Amino acid sequence: MSESDTKRPAAEVYKRLLGYTRQHWGLGLLAVFGMVIEGAAAGAFTWLMEPMINGTFVAQDAAVMRWVPLAIIALFLVRGVAGFIVDVGMARIGGSVVFQLRSEVLAKYQELPLSSFDREPVAMMVQRLSYTADQVARASADALKIIITDVFTLIALLIVMLYASATLTLTILIVTPVIAGIISVVGKRYRRLNHKVQDATSGLAHSAEQSLHNVEAVKIYAGGAMEVERFVAHAKSSERLNRKIIATQATSSALVQIMAACALGALVWFAGRMAVGSGLDAGKFVSLMTSMMAMLPSLKRLTNVQSQLQRGVAAGDSLFAVLDAESEPAAGTSPVDARQDLVLEGVRFRYADDKPWALDGVDLRIPAGKTTALVGRSGSGKTTLARLLPRFYSPQSGEIRLGALPIESIALAELRRHIAVVSQNVLLFDDTVANNIAYGSLQGASRADIEAAAAAANALEFIRELPQGFDTPIGDRGNRLSGGQRQRLAIARAILKNAPILILDEATSALDSESERLIQDALDRILKDRTAIVIAHRLSTIEHADQVVVMDRGRVQETGNHAELLAAQGAYAHLHKLQFRDE
């Protein structure tokens, strides 16, 4: 689901975008009516040229001299009002389309499986919500406005021209297919270029974001120059593409204008002949000339609107790619009893088809109400195993069951309701301490419960020292807190959730031994009657686990309790010896 995964035909994208304007059909109709009026007013004005020239200057008719000026003023009044309705109406409809698309895409992001997030950088996702959605608005509002107004303007002007002289008008029409041909060729090239520009722009944002987020690493490893180089390469290619787009645009405008000039030359030539023989008078000729001149801006806008629409289609296409992506399958059994064994059978999983197996045939029983510790080298698949339990990812083969039920058959919300996770990398929200603990479904928790959870996570002391206590904002991603403080908030959140299944993935890794010991007692109490999966680096914290599972290269190497595994003199005993020596 990348930006280049865009195969929907343009017509389908237009239609789907128009669907978003449906609720504003009344306003839309009014705006379209305004556009028709604008077009008709343009025609009426050039038509007025005939009575103006013939009546005012040639015949010097007093009546015509009175009404023509009044008609001009009235015409522009009507046109002004129509223009206002069009602008305001279309802006409102366009704004509403952006709003709907943004909400839908953000909602969809919440439903996408984690694997989509591995494939697409967050910068690209944010880009879709901001820039891409705006581009779509321009397509469905500005471009539509130009198309309808200018097409009606052209029709009105054409009628005036035919009325003035059919022969001359038909001569001009011969040029039209040529112009149309050029427009279509240029449009195709434009659409291609535009896709590339969008990719380049988000690549640009991604590259900048990376170096800016990782500013500490960039500074200490003197990566600045490299980052700038990388960014400049992106910026250059983006700039090159932009130049190409401008060139394409400029060429098309120039070509169309040259065509029009040829038509004008032919017109003057023919008119000279006709004035001698047939009844082409001065008024009709001026009316025809002004009509033709008035067509030029409309034609020019219409050739450029093509590119604008293409840009909108490309943008809409990339949003629809998100909306059409498959959501996590959420339906299933509910309610379920979570106080049953978790069983993994022949579970194999890899993050992508071209990646090695992260779990390579895991058979494991995680007994209900007991603590199971996962240990093993980094990269052995512990985190991955823990991620499969709340169905963040689904195994490619094998089965995970809760009691007798395959977890795939449990309603996703129900499954996750029963699981609390403290993950390895704690990311918090830009909100207060209290709101970070009572997050999501925990929102309604009382202050007393929040404080109790914070106390159990040994977080009360540092929270009390914050300037506004529980109501202190903790900054973007919690960057005003230390790693250990963030971890304690995440633990408090998990404690508050009070779920029957608890997953702690190196949940105390960022704590010093002192704080860890303090939390450990609290954790031991909480783990007591729950199904707990504890991933630990420091073996001393899992000595009391009911079951210890040693993982290696995506497989279960050993299982047993601390004493049994030590006695077995295997991998666990080896790990233990290494750590014991260190301490």
Ligand X SMILES: Nc1ncnc2c1ncn2[C@@H]1O[C@H](COP(=O)(O)OP(=O)(O)O)[C@@H](O)[C@H]1O
Q: Phi and psi dihedrals of 362, rounded to 5?
A: -100, 125
Nearer to ligand X, 209 or 360 (CB): 360
Least Cα distance to 32 among 21, 47, 45, 43 occurs for 21
CB of 426 to ligand X, least distance (A): 15
Minimal CA–CA distance to 282: which of 296, 293, 271? Answer: 271
306 vs 384, which CB is nearer to ligand X? 384
Report yes or no: 364 and 531 within 8 Å, Cβ to Cβ. Answer: no
d(CA 152, CA 40): 7
Q: Does 318 bind Mg ion (CB under 5 A)?
A: no
Closest CA to 244 of 194, 204, 199: 194
Minimal CB distance residue for Mg ion:
383
Nearer to ligand X, 21 or 380 (CB): 380
- Binding partner at 39 among Mg ion, ligand X, none, C-beta below 5 to 8 Å by kind: none
Minimum distance from residue 385 beta carbon to ligand X (Å): 7
Binding partner at 355 among ligand X, Mg ion, none, C-beta below 5 to 8 Å by kind: ligand X
Q: How far is the CB of 352 from ligand X (least distance, A)?
A: 7
Q: What angle do CA 388, 551, 419 make, to 5 degrees?
A: 30
Nearest to 129 by CA among 150, 152, 108, 154: 108
Nearest to 92 by CA among 84, 103, 80: 84
Torsion from C-alpha of 318, 324, 329, 335, nearest 10 degrees: 100
Q: What, of Mg ion, ligand X, none, does residue 390 touch, CB below 5 to 8 Å by kind?
A: none
Report, in Å, the least distance between residue 356 CB and ligand X: 7
Q: Which is nearer to ligand X, 272 or 356 (CB)?
A: 356
Q: To the nearest whole angstrom, how small is the minimum distance from the Cβ of residue 570 to ligand X?
A: 18
User: Which residues in this chain contact ligand X in the complex, by CB under 6 A?
Assistant: 118, 351, 355, 358, 376, 378-384
Task: Please name which of 452, 431, 542 lies closest in space to residue 497, comparing C-alpha atoms.
Answer: 452
Would you say 383 or 435 has its CB closer to Mg ion? Answer: 383
Minimum CB distance to ligand X smaller for 526 or for 535: 535
Question: CA–CA distance from 314 to each of 135, 492, 498, 543 (Å)?
Answer: 9, 45, 46, 57
Beta carbon of residue 502, minimum distance to Mg ion (angstroms, whole number): 16
Among ligand X, Mg ion, none, partner that 384 touches (CB below 5 to 8 angstroms by kind): ligand X
Residue (278 or 378) nearer to ligand X, CB: 378
Residues 6+ apart with CB under 8 A from 8: 317, 320
Q: What sign has the CA pseudo-torsion 426, 432, 433, 439?
A: negative
| Residue closer to Mg ion (CB basis): 272 or 379 | 379
Cα-only R_g, the chain: 35
Structure tokens at 235: 């910026």
Q: Is 551 helix (H, G, I), strand (E, B) or coil?
A: strand
The strand order across the sheet containing 405-406 reads 359-366, 342-349, 397-402, 405-406
Specify the residue, 378 or 446, whose C-beta has the smaller distance to ligand X. Answer: 378
Question: Going edge to edge, which strands form the sheet with 371-376?
Answer: 419-422, 501-505, 531-535, 371-376, 547-552, 555-560
CB of 410 to ligand X, least distance (A): 23
Q: How far is the CB of 382 from Mg ion (least distance, A)?
A: 5
CB of 364 to ligand X, least distance (A): 14
The DSSP code sequence of 135-200 is: HHHHIIIIIHHHHHHHHHHHHHHHHHHHHH-HHHHHHHHTHHHHHHHHHHHHHHHHHHHHHHHHHH
Q: Does 383 bind Mg ion (CB under 5 A)?
A: yes
Pick between residue 186 and residue 549 the one whose CB is nearest to ligand X.
549
The whole-angstrom separation of Cα 567 and Cα 576 is 12
Using CB under 5 A as the binding rule, whether residue 384 contacts Mg ion is answered as no
Of 508, 498, 389, 485, which Cα lies nearest the Cα of 436? 485
Q: How far apart are CA 452 and CA 448, in angstroms?
A: 6
Closer of 95 and 379 to ligand X (Cβ): 379
434: tokens are: 């209290």
Rounded to the nearest 5°, which phi and psi values hold at 406?
-60, 135
Distance in Å from the first CA to the final CA of the chain: 48
Pick between residue 139 and residue 386 the one whose CB is nearest to ligand X: 386
What's at 157, amino acid-wise?
L
Question: How many Å apart are CA 12 and CA 192, to the nearest integer?
Answer: 17
Residue 542 beta carbon to Mg ion: minimum distance, rounded to whole angstroms:
15
Please say whether the beta carbons of 313 and 191 come within 8 A. Answer: yes
Q: Considering the complex, state which of residue 47 and residue 393 has its C-beta at the smaller distance from ligand X.
A: 393
The residue among 100 and 559 lying less far from ligand X, judged by its C-beta, is 559
Q: How far is the CB of 383 from Mg ion (least distance, A)?
A: 3
Min CB(362)–Mg ion separation in Å: 15
Binding site for Mg ion (CB under 5 A): 383
